[in-house]
Amino acid sequence: MHEDAGLLLILMAAIGLIVVLVVRFRVHSFLALMLASFVVGAGAGMPLPAIADSFEKGMGGTLGFLAAVIGLGSILGKLLEVSGGAERIARSLLDALGEQRTAWAMMLVGFVVGIPVFFEVGFVLLIPLIYVVARQTRLNILYVGLPLAVSLMTVHCMLPPHPAAMAITQLLGGDVGKVILYGLIVGLPTAVIAGPVWATLVCPRHAAPDAQAAPEPAATPAAGQSMPGLGLTLLVILLPLLLMVGKTLASMTLAPEAGLYRLMMFLGNPLTALAIAVCFAYWALGLRRGLGMARLQALTAGSFTPLASILLIIGAGGAFNGVLIDSGVGKVLASTLSQWDLNPILLAWFVAGLMHLAVGSATVAMVSAAGMVLPLLDAMPGQNREIVIIAIGAGAIGWTTVTDSAFWVVKEYLGVSLGEALKKFTAATLLASVVALGMTLLLSHWV
């Protein structure tokens, strides 16, 4: 018993170390997770060579599959950005829904465009359009921009092929297609309530008469005729999701010996699905519109640059999880939590939210929470892992505050005060987190 308590104290010390290094000393999250892994291993009495081996095995096992998937997803996002596809979706939805439903249109834009792009990329990509809409309609810029930000954050945390969502799906052994289905079921109502509904309640609809107009966009939006068609752009974004969900449906309805079953297992593999989508995007958003292979090669290379930090963080999170298991800390944690009779869904949500508040990174929060929840799931074979994955994403949406770079991106681009950003945007992410938790708990009774 005393030994078990000591191992749990070591885990708490490692988590505290991560928080202090990242928040107080501004150490990169990769290095903080790496040091914490060695603290857990050494504190648990593992031989030093074994700690290094465990770290290497955990990092390699996590990134062996994810590196290619995340890279392919990044190519899709870059092609969507430079082709004007994101703007096409936004303008089409704004035209269809009209000025009276601008907040709803921007929420839908974030939900669709956010599938293949990172939060910061999606927000910065669409901020010129927010400026244009706010200037033309004299709507309050926060009323227009808040639903977009919340929607992007929801998709960022809950839907593969986003890196963190894909990483915890692999770490916890979930089915990607089911995670996508459940993420859509939970995420869309969450984005609606914490986006346009919340914005209508807390943000003035129209800008004050003496308010400074929204700034001019840094670049003139592309002319409508130079942008790809709406249907083609949506197909590029949704194609990998349809293939992955199709694999899940095939596994539930077809016999394993059927030829169609084997085909769908291949096409719906995340690696295959994203590779097919990238090939289609090369044609639909590139070659078809006059971009040569040299230009596409340059865009592809450019899409990989922002991935280094994300891949290292996810890999270190997998390594941290590996050390937890090999050191025996994970087993003790699972035993302790099972004695407390905690709902794993609530636990996953709480841990992810607490880590996001502490370290300011939804990605770090999600991979850390997955590592702490995994031992409990191994001890509870009947627990639906996809639901727990969604719960982790729901927890990570909340507490997007001053410790998170996403908070400052939203604050600065929308030009609001610190207090207003906390009251409107941070509160919106907290609302989204609670709504998503409620939806997840409700869904858990049906699946």
pLDDT (tens digit, 9 = 90+) per residue, 164-189?
A: 999 999 989 999 999 999 999 999 99
What is the residue whose two structure tokens read 């969604």?
390
CA-nearest of 209, 212, 214 to 133 is 214
Assign 115 to helix, strand or coil.
coil
Average pLDDT over residues 76-95: 87
CB atoms within 10 A of CB 256: 9
Pairwise CA distance, residues 288 & 282, whole Å: 8
Pairwise CA distance, residues 89 & 335, whole Å: 49
Q: What is the pTM of this model?
A: 0.85
Pairwise CA distance, residues 277 & 294, whole Å: 19
Each residue's pLDDT tens digit, 379-423: 787 889 999 999 999 999 998 987 788 898 899 889 888 889 999
Pairwise CA distance, residues 127 & 147, whole Å: 12
Query: What phi and psi, each to the nearest 5 degrees, are found at residue 206?
Result: -105, 150
CA-nearest of 100, 109, 97 to 146 is 109
Average pLDDT over residues 273-280: 95
Each residue's pLDDT tens digit, 246-268: 999 999 999 999 999 999 999 99
Query: What phi and psi, each to the nearest 5 degrees, are found at residue 28?
Result: -60, 145
CB atoms within 10 A of CB 421: 22
How many CA within 13 A on the CB side of residue 428? 33
Pairwise CA distance, residues 86 & 73, whole Å: 15
Question: Structure tokens of 428?
Answer: 């919106």
- Per domain, the residue ranges of the chain are 2-444
CB 19 within 8 A of CB 56: no
Each residue's pLDDT tens digit, 58-75: 899 888 878 898 899 889
Q: Which amino acid is at 204?
A: P
Burial of 75 (0-12, 13-18, 19+ CB in 10 A): buried
Report residue 424 CA to chain centroid gap: 21
Non-local CB neighbours of 135 within 8 Å, separated by 6+ positions: 213, 214, 216
Each residue's pLDDT tens digit, 186-224: 999 999 999 999 999 998 887 665 555 556 554 444 444
